[in-house]
Amino acid sequence: MTMLLPWLFALLTVALADQVCYQPFGCFQSDGKEIKTPQTPDVVNTHFKVFNRQHQTTPYYNLGGSNWLGSMNKLDSHLDPSKKTKILVHGFLGNGDNDWIRDTTKALLKKGDFNIIVVDWRGGSQWPYEQAAGNSILVGEELAVLLSYIHSSGHINYADVHIIGHSLGAQIAAQAGESTLGKIGRITALDPADPGFSGKALDKRLDKSDALFVDVIHSDGSHFNLLSGFGTKDAVGDIDFYPNGGEHQPGCSEKPVGSALNGILHGSFGNAVDSFSCSHSRAHQYFLESLTSSCKFYGHQCASTSDFSAGKCLGCPAHGCPVMGYDADQTQARGSFYLATSTSAPFCGKEYYVEVHVSHALHTTYGELFVTLIGTRGTSEELKFSKLLRYYHRDDVEKNVISTHKDIGVVSQVKVRFVRGHDLHALGAAHEILIGKVLVESTENPNVQVKICGHDAHIHERNTITLSSHTGC
């Protein structure tokens, strides 16, 4: 029995280590896999920074430190109860000084005269992810305690609170909403974190019961592989938007490791980080643009990404399409909505459905296509057409909805560029592609389709050809 005591003590220690309690925030458990128990509040070191129209770049008041609970009453003189409150929460590896937080704060204050609270939990948001995920649950409870206090003190109505969270910040918003019984007015979830949360019980992750209205922008919902897929693909809100299918955003590298190494070799660690987080970060970029641009990100209700890419969900109903971003709450529509964006800012633009028909004479090749649309009012920027590197076989038809910055009018010509892959998949693949024809239609006028004939045009790797014939195909 004496020999068993050390083993029993070790097992008891592990069991106790799987749960920690930090009052008044509650007790927290590890799931044993993807979410660790949170570190202490002193380590996470959450700060709540208050901004307003008179203080847009530096906080009007900064509530934080080891005794912030005892200082909550100081918020009373720094929050205007007549104004609505916007709360911004950064995600994994982020902090309250991130550019998107600063820029969104300014854009919101230009949009309206709000109380702004930035939740800065940089002490707990760093590597490893499993620890940051555990810390985020604590931060959600801290935010809930803060909201409960300023609600009970008469300085906010829950219904006037709008929490905007990215990545783990969206799950923090969800935890705060759950703990305030879903009374929060709105949660905007910007690519809510997937690892450790998807598949969990509703009270452990974001869902539409966490606020009176929950809108979601999905931008990195591919399968998680430590390099991409940080966001959930699941529809978890009242309205879920899937720009470019909710994954592999145009303009972001398909091979983040290579792009990151290139950034490091050229002395840019920031660019290296961006390579890993590009698609994940697009969600907050889209939201910011929705605040600053007159262009609207109209979403099209659709059953799936493949249906949208196949042109089955073009146009808008009589009551109009809902708008992704800040104005998402200006609609009664509910469900999943799809749209296309351009490859670089400004991301909002004119959408076109395009079909590229490969020639029957093609020998199998491997790569991707880029197109430039030429219309009666101008020429688009070059647009990434293929979602991913792929094989092309004879008579293949590739379909996609793409978006251009410019209003180019009625399309009359199209430039097509072929980029051949150079990994193992390309072994034995032809060094060119043959185009039979290209079909183009605007999503604003889906009943008018322009046919442009390729006549089996040969496009060699990295070359571009302009197609302008409208007959003979």
Taking only the tens place, the pLDDT of each residue in 339-392 is 999 999 999 999 999 999 999 999 999 999 999 999 999 999 999 999 889 999
> Residue 443: which pLDDT band, with cuts at 50, 70 and 90?
confident
Q: Name the token pair of 194.
A: 């997937």
pLDDT at position 263 over 50: no
**CATH fold for the domain made of 19-339:** Rossmann fold (3.40.50)
Taking only the tens place, the pLDDT of each residue in 78-94 is 999 999 999 999 999 99
> Residue 253: which pLDDT band, with cuts at 50, 70 and 90?
confident
pLDDT at position 438 over 50: yes
> Residue 17: which pLDDT band, with cuts at 50, 70 and 90?
low
Taking only the tens place, the pLDDT of each residue in 157-206 is 999 999 999 999 999 999 999 999 999 999 999 999 999 998 888 889 99
HSE, CB side, 13 Å, CA atoms: give it for residue 261.
3
Residues 6+ apart with CB under 8 A from 470: 450, 451, 452, 453
Domain 350-467 has CATH 3.40.50.720: no
Q: What are phi and psi of 92, to 5 degrees?
A: -55, 130
Residue 408 is predicted with a pLDDT of 93
Q: What is the DSSP string of 223-237?
A: ---SSS--B--S--S
Q: What's the rounded Cα separation, in Å, for the pair 363 and 395?
A: 10
CA 116 to chain centre: 22
User: Across residues 290-296, what is the average pLDDT?
Assistant: 97
Q: What is the DSSP secondary structure assignment for residue 193, as one 8-state letter?
A: B
Q: What's the rounded Cα separation, in Å, for the pair 79 and 82?
A: 9
Residue 430 is predicted with a pLDDT of 94
Compute the 3-state secondary structure of the chain and give helix, strand, coil in percent, each to the nearest 5. 30, 30, 40
106 to 27, 52, 86: CA distances (angstroms) = 36, 9, 12
Residue 299: closest CA among 318, 271, 324: 324
Residue 34 is predicted with a pLDDT of 86
Residue 336: closest CA among 302, 310, 306: 302
Q: In sequence order, what E strands does 244-386 have?
A: 300-301, 335-339, 350-358, 365-375, 378-379, 383-384
pLDDT at position 463 over 90: yes
Q: What is the DSSP secondary structure assignment for residue 459, as one 8-state letter?
A: E
**Reduced to 3 states, what is the DSSP secondary structure of residue 449?**
coil
Domain ranges in the chain are 19-339, 350-467
Q: What are phi and psi of 389, to 5 degrees?
A: -60, 140
Do residues 60 and 114 make contact, with C-beta atoms less than 8 angstroms apart? Answer: no
Q: Name the token pair of 127.
A: 């590597």
Residue 268 is predicted with a pLDDT of 36
Residues 6+ apart with CB under 8 A from 255: none
Q: Name the token pair of 104.
A: 């969104």
- Percentage of the chain lying above the pLDDT 70 cut: 90
Q: What's the rounded Cα separation, in Å, for the pair 45 and 39?
A: 10
What is the dihedral sign for C-alpha 136, 139, 145, 150?
negative
Do residues 436 and 473 make contact, with C-beta atoms less than 8 angstroms apart? Answer: yes
Of the listed ranges 87-101, 286-300, 305-319, the one predicted with least confidence: 305-319
Maximum CA extent, the chain: 92
Catalytic residues: 167, 191, 280
User: Across residues 436-459, what is the average pLDDT?
Assistant: 92
pLDDT at position 7 over 90: no
> Residue 446: which pLDDT band, with cuts at 50, 70 and 90?
confident
Residue whose token pair is 């409150």: 85
Q: Do the strands 300-301 and 335-339 form a parallel or antiparallel pair, or are they unpaired?
A: antiparallel
Q: What's the rounded Cα separation, in Å, for the pair 249 and 278?
A: 8
Binding residues for Ca(2+): 205, 207, 210
pTM of the model: 0.91
Residue 423 is predicted with a pLDDT of 87
Residue 226 is predicted with a pLDDT of 57
Residue 445 is predicted with a pLDDT of 81
Length of the chain: 473
Taking only the tens place, the pLDDT of each residue in 61-120 is 999 998 899 999 999 889 999 999 999 999 999 999 999 999 999 999 999 999 999 999
Residue 9 is predicted with a pLDDT of 30
Taking only the tens place, the pLDDT of each residue in 382-420 is 999 998 899 999 999 999 999 999 889 999 999 999 999
**Reduced to 3 states, what is the DSSP secondary structure of residue 227?**
coil
Q: Name the token pair of 152.
A: 């009970």
Residue whose token pair is 């390729």: 454
pLDDT at position 48 over 50: yes
